[in-house]
Chains A and B, each alone.
Chain A
Amino acid sequence: MKHIISALVENKPGVLAHVSGMFAARAFNIDSLVVGRTEDPQLSRMTIVVVGDDRVLEQVRKQLAKIIPVVKVQDFAGQAVVARDLMLITFAAPAEKRPEILALIETFKGNVVDIGQKTIMVEISGPEEKIEAFIEMCRPYGIKNVARTGTIAMPRQEKTAGGQQETTNED
């Protein structure tokens, strides 16, 4: 099962290497890992998508929490979250197909951010499935380049029955 793990970490050099090194050393699989600053300049947030069973995920949470510059770890499994991925995609867009391409982009609520003689670049955000679906729709035209941010996520206001699993060093 896919889990979205959110880790609040100290904004210090070496933290990313420590976290990614731990994942590699313990043979955990990372689907994606996103790091960005938070409103507090001392802290960054890492959003890590991990695939594994409950036993693996328990270890992932505990091993993350054990890393000293990691302040707090949350696993959003079983919780209502907003999860978003941002993609830039460039694909072939010959003049005769542009009307249908633009309609496709419109349907996916994408933005055309660059346009050339032969290609078009689109910015699109949303849940991962939407991004994947858009890639599939573009494939027949001939994809040139894809850049994706990986998932970031935040829990919704109302908690669902599953609740969230939080891990700190105190667990």
Chain B
Amino acid sequence: MKSDSSRPADSAGKSPILKSGPLTALRTGADIAVQALIDQGVDTMFGYPGGVVLPFFDKLYDAPIRFIIPRHEQGGAHMADGYARASGKVGVIVATSGPGACNLVTGLGTAMMDSIPIVAITGQVRTDLIGNDAFQEADTTGITRPVTKYNCIVKDVKDLARVIKEAFFIASTGRPGPVVVDLPVDVQVAKTSYDPKVEMRLPGYRLKTKGHSRQISMAAEAINKSEKPVLYVGGGVVIANAGEELRALAKKAHLPVTMTLLGLGSYDQNEPESLDMLGMHGTAYANYAVHECDLLIAVGARFDDRVTGKLKTFAANAKVIHIDIDPASIAKNVRADIPVVGDAKYILTELVNQVEYRERKEWFAKIAQWKKKYPMGYDRKSTNIKPQYVIEQVCELTGGDAIITTGVGQHQMWTSQFYKFKRPRQFITSGGLGTMGFGLPSAIGAQIAMPDATVVDIDGDHSFNMTLTELRTAVQYELPIKVCIMNNGYMGMVRQWQELFYNKRYSKSYLANPDYSKVAEALGAVGITVEKKADVPKAIKKMLTEKMPCVVDFHVEPEENVWPMVPSGKSLHEMDGLDLLESMA
């Protein structure tokens, strides 16, 4: 272990109490904040110090918390996010005021769009300086309000313990999301007594987990009657840990299952019911099935424009059941005939009890035809390195069991198409906000949460460029993460759109890249360059045996496109690239 790497060995096994004493003993705000975090079960945190969080960091010096220091606060926020997605726990990130808090914004927005529980603690200037444009002052609550589920500034140390408790509760319940607690430096040094049993005061926060029983019965009845149903599953099922219940429903009622990008992993893609992903770059068989179904059962999905295409024709002949914990998600984009508000785990369990098996021979035969006619594919005979080939190889050589993270763009779509996910929390990707640079730091967070798992960041060259400084973080903490760069020199998805919609005018979508294996080595990681197709499996195998972070730079076909594709604003069945898939069948 390097000097300041993880938690010192001697602190393991210690009682997670900083100080003992009567409840009335006066403790500083910083002390209370750290104790309140420990009392919330926090044993791992991410963060970067700075002027006005020094009292808080001083308390961390001997706290029984594993602390990961990123190279940039954005990286830290994505690490907390990856940690939360992989483990299901709340990710915690700490940053200083001003630039520290501002650098969190992309990470918070990413977590907000994908409903990921994060608590961010930010330092703030002294309360008497707030509003005076003090050094490193920013209106953190103002700046982060639209990218958080909730935020607040604590101006009285007496409120601190309660606010931290509320922050964790809000972040992790209902539709989860990020919460910011802004903590002025004088509040960190002010003293009060700490009451771990302090009561929350949230009169406006009511949770409904149990779905309405009559709505559930109606949904079950609709499922039992349906000839051509499709289960359309989103990230909500992953968040609700409802994978088993989903499987039970699909098996018992005999339902085909398609997943959104964030829903991938909620249903084993090796199972016959899986239609894989739907939407803009979904499979032809998923999109056709959704287009033709008579019943669409949406679970924890929000009818995003990348999923629906043209709203008017989306599942136009289907009755829609919409199960979601967020009432505002229901009927936002698509009417719901049977809305059910509540927790997916609870509602799916109820549904399983009420549905009956139905063969639906014709429907499944039709789906089988689509699968046969338009399987996912690419030019397998090409002598160039096709990115799809690399991803298939990664899938095969990891037994389909790795935790996969991605950046955003073509490589992300190919990963969603060619890695076959088996279980929830296996695929970590920025779906809603589409944050380039998410792959590497989220892989670090996932590896921290799951030390024994194989964690692979399948990245794009320009996504990787955005946060590659965090490779040093992975080296420092000796995390055996793997990075597979689909290096095509372009911002691939931008280039693809320019090819298709801007007459091949590749305006500003090319950047000169460094030699990534040398960059990796300079940062203390292992670097491998792959320029020949024949070397791909060997390189992946070597990568998988490395104990240190390993970066494999695959020089892939530069102008490969993602197919099929529903052009923006088109209906789901109007996919381009089908002839290509057909020719590969």
> Which residues of A are interface residues toward B (Cβ below 8 A)?
9-10, 12-14, 17-18, 21, 25, 55, 58-59, 62-63, 65-72, 167-171
Contacts and interface: CB of A to CB of B under 8 A. Distances in A.
Interface string B370-409: 0000000000000000000000000000000000000000
Contact of B142 (A17, A25, A59, A62): A17
Interface residues of B, number: 24
A85 B217 CA distance: 47
A144 to B, nearest CB: 34
B205 A55 contact: no
Interface string B162-177: 0000000010001000
A169 B206 contact: yes
B302 to A, nearest CB: 13
B99 interface: no
28 contacts: A10-B204, A12-B152, A13-B153, A14-B141, A14-B151, A14-B152, A17-B142, A21-B145, A55-B331, A59-B332, A62-B327, A65-B327, A65-B328, A66-B328, A68-B149, A68-B150, A68-B202, A68-B204, A69-B204, A70-B204, A71-B204, A72-B204, A168-B206, A169-B174, A169-B204, A169-B206, A169-B327, A170-B208
B238 to A, nearest CB: 21
Given A14-B141, A68-B150, A169-B208, A59 B170 contact: no
A41 to B, nearest CB: 13
A25 B152 CA distance: 19
Nearest to B202: A68
Interface of B: 141-142, 145-146, 149-153, 170, 174, 202-208, 326-328, 331-332, 341
Interface centre among A9, A69, A169, A171 (most CB of B within 10 A): A169
The residue among B150, B151, B202, B206 with the most chain A CB atoms within 10 A of its own CB is B206
A66 B326 contact: yes
B207 A169 contact: yes
Contacts of A25: 146
A65 B150 CA distance: 13
Nearest to B331: A58
A86 to B, nearest CB: 28
Nearest to A167: B327
Contacts of B145: 14, 17-18, 21
Contacts of B208: 169-170
A17 to B, nearest CB: 7
A13 to B, nearest CB: 8
Closest 10 CB pairs of A and B: A62-B328, A71-B204, A169-B206, A68-B150, A170-B208, A71-B203, A70-B204, A68-B205, A66-B328, A171-B327
Given A14-B145, A17-B142, A169 B205 contact: yes
Nearest to A24: B146
Contacts of A21: 145-146
Nearest to B329: A62
A155 B142 CA distance: 34
Given A14-B152, A63-B328, A169-B327, A9 B146 contact: no
Contacts of B142: 14, 17
A68 B305 CA distance: 26
Contacts of B205: 68, 169
A167 B204 CA distance: 11
A12 B153 CA distance: 11
Contacts of A65: 327-328
Given A12-B152, A14-B151, 15 more contacts: A14-B153, A25-B146, A58-B331, A65-B328, A66-B326, A66-B327, A66-B328, A68-B150, A68-B202, A69-B204, A169-B205, A169-B207, A169-B208, A170-B206, A170-B208
Nearest to B142: A17
A25 B112 CA distance: 14
A169 B174 CA distance: 10
Contacts of A169: 174, 204-208, 327
